[in-house]
Amino acid sequence: MISELSKSNLKVNSTKQSIIRAFVECRAKTLELFQDMDEATFCLQAHPDFSPVGWHLGHIAYTESLWILERSAGLPCLFPQYNQLYAADGLPKNQRVKLPSLTATRDYLDTIREKVLDCMERTDLQQQEGLWRFLLQHESQHSETISFVLELIRNQQSSDEKENSWHLSYSCSPLLPNPLNEMIQIPAGEFEMGSNSVDALDNERSAHKVYLDTYSIDRYPVTCKQYRVFMEAGSYKNHQWWSEAGWQWLETEKATKPLYWEDNPAWYNHPVWGVSYYEAEAYAKFVGKRLPTEAEWEKAASWDEKSKTRRIYPWGNELPTAEHCNHNNIHNQTTPVNAYPSGQSAYGLYDTLGNVWEWTASWFDAYPGFEYYPYKGYSQVYFDNEHKVLKGGSWATRPWALRSSFRNWYHPGVRQMFAGFRCAA
């Protein structure tokens, strides 16, 4: 007979082993992005707001070393020569272009990782589970940023061809009924927002009750076909649809279309992506709707009205698979917004997780009971009314950073990350 005590030891052990497996899997996905990469791409700063992909790779090792080897295990720093380069607050982004080679960076990662796995084997789960889960999500997020930067580079290289492809050769009438226009009504009531789970990041804590009046929300993210109607109407030149801040952004950026726009009917049922908050806001006004608040988005994605419980994922509590949603670079591109019926939320929303991030109307802010973890600069310094919340994850989001309570944040003018939106009313 197995005693209660050894049963709980087994459980602790298998949890630890599953975290270690996740570390290994996540690393394999990160490194996949660097297959056959030349040194020029590795060191290229594609945009002033984004560091080269090679920097992100080194920063992943730096962060593991800092939190597990140095701060937790009290070991001396193994690569002090990299500290200034890879610390988040070490060098301005434009000085992150002289980097160790891909091979040297991989050695750095491997050396740190070997010691990290050693420490994990020797440390109690109870003591460090939160930190390990944080670090897994830290790599997941940088891995996604690497995908953004690579897409940005591809986009810049092909931008001359694309320049000519937006000339309204196909016309889609705004009057055609589109089944993807459907909205779902969410009845008034309380739901639970945020999460206290061990993998919840500081900004998701604490879980708290929120009451919302009845509202409607799009069943699907806004598609390229729908967005094209807005473009066709000359909206990028029409002040009427834009907020003051949005119009200012438009004049500075001289945007005429979404960043990743390709005018091809093959993409029409895919979500629009590469839009700023301002473009999303203007589109919503154009169709007589608005953007959902974060609470409205999260309730529609996670609340199960019947059992009055919160689901971790829209479909329930099983971990995300390729059947549920487009994530983890499985397709390396967007998919049609109605492609994942098994990923629907209890209210019937499609594509809330994966495919594209979705802008919400909410500023990134602290929940009741917020305590920073593991450092102020992770979330707290961004509670500044200058960052909007994005929900749901994209086709490049790792499964460990994919859940309805997960909160991402960017300045409203940023559009390099894979962001689209859905509307509410």
98: left (phi over 0), alpha (psi -120 to 50) or beta: beta
C-alpha span between 120 and 23 (Å, rounded)? 11
Tokens encoding 68? 């597990």
Q: How many residues bind ligand AVJ (CB under 6 A)?
A: 7
C-alpha span between 355 and 410 (Å, rounded)? 18
Q: Alpha-carbon Rg of the chain, whole angstroms?
A: 22
Q: Which of residues 367-406 bind ligand AVJ (CB under 6 A)?
A: 378
C-alpha span between 257 and 267 (Å, rounded)? 15
What's the min distance (Å) between Cβ of 399 and ligand AVJ?
Answer: 16
Do the Cβ atoms of 359 and 417 come closer than 8 Å?
Answer: no
**Range in contact with ligand AVJ (rule: CB under 6 A) among 7-15, 30-38, 140-148, 230-238:** 140-148
**Site membership for ligand AVJ, residue 409 (CB under 6 A):** yes
What's the min distance (Å) between Cβ of 134 and ligand AVJ?
Answer: 10
Residue nearest to ligand AVJ (CB): 141
CA angle 6, 10, 15 (to 5 degrees): 150
For ligand AVJ, give the closer residue by CB, 336 or 399. Answer: 399
For ligand AVJ, give the closer residue by CB, 191 or 409. Answer: 409
**Range in contact with ligand AVJ (rule: CB under 6 A) among 42-50, 75-83, 126-134, 136-144:** 136-144
Looking at 141, 326, 335, 404, which residue binds ligand AVJ (CB under 6 A)? Answer: 141
Paired sense of beta strands 419-420 and 357-363, if any: parallel
What's the min distance (Å) between Cβ of 67 and ligand AVJ?
Answer: 12
For ligand AVJ, give the closer residue by CB, 166 or 372. Answer: 372
**Site membership for ligand AVJ, residue 134 (CB under 6 A):** no
**Site membership for ligand AVJ, residue 203 (CB under 6 A):** no
Q: How many CB atoms lie within 10 A of CB 184?
A: 15
What's the min distance (Å) between Cβ of 378 and ligand AVJ?
Answer: 6
Question: Which secondary-structure segment (H or E) carries 183?
Answer: strand 183-186
What's the min distance (Å) between Cβ of 146 and ligand AVJ?
Answer: 10
C-alpha span between 114 and 80 (Å, rounded)? 18
Q: Which of 273, 277, 184, 291 is nearest to 226 (CA)?
A: 273
Looking at 408, 418, 421, 424, which residue binds ligand AVJ (CB under 6 A)? Answer: 408
Looking at 27, 113, 138, 219, which residue binds ligand AVJ (CB under 6 A)? Answer: 138
What's the min distance (Å) between Cβ of 81 and ligand AVJ?
Answer: 21
**Range in contact with ligand AVJ (rule: CB under 6 A) among 70-78, 94-102, 141-149, 368-376:** 141-149
Looking up tokens 């001359």 gives 160
Dihedral of alpha carbons 269, 302, 134, 360, sign: positive
Do the Cβ atoms of 404 and 352 come closer than 8 Å?
Answer: yes
Which chain residues interact with ligand AVJ by CB under 6 A?
A: 138, 141-142, 145, 378, 408-409
